Structure 1
C-alpha cells in the first residue's frame, strides 16, 4: 500500500514501486501493521493447507517462497467491517 511504502521510506506515490524495488530486503521484512494482530483467522491468512502450506512472512524470511513478482495490498475501507 502507499501507506506501507511511505512507512519504509518511499512516500512518493508515483515512484513507490521503483523505490520499493531498490530497498534492501531487510527493509521490507517488517509486515504491515495489522499482520497477526489477533489469534483468530480474520487477521491473517489461513495457512497449513494445500493452497497455502506455510505462513507467507516466514516463508519469505527463510527464502522458501517462489521467486516471482508479488503485489500485496489492501483496500482503503478494508477494516470497516469492524465498525458495526
Structure 2
C-alpha cells in the first residue's frame, strides 16, 4: 500500500491474526519538522491532517474496547481532537 501508513494485523483472542488495520508510523509531524522560516507544502499539511485524524480515531476508539494496551483519558481525547482541529485550520488557510 503506498503512502506513510503500514498495514498491520492485530492478534485476536484465538491466537491468529485479526483483520488488517492501518497504523501510522511513529514519526514527527511533517509540518512540525519543516525548516524554520519555510512554509510546509500542501502535501505535508494534508499528511498532518490525516495523521491527526488517525490519532484521534485511535484514541476515541480505544474507550469502547474491552482489551486495550493503555486506556486513554478524556484529556488524551481532547488533545488529539485539538491537534486535528489545528491541522485542519492550517489546511483551510493554505
| TM-score over 0.5 (shorter chain) | no
Query: What's the TM-score, normalizing by structure 2?
Result: 0.29
More strand by share: 2
More helix by share: 2
Query: What's the TM-score, normalizing by structure 1?
Result: 0.31
- Larger gyration radius, structure 1 or structure 2: 2
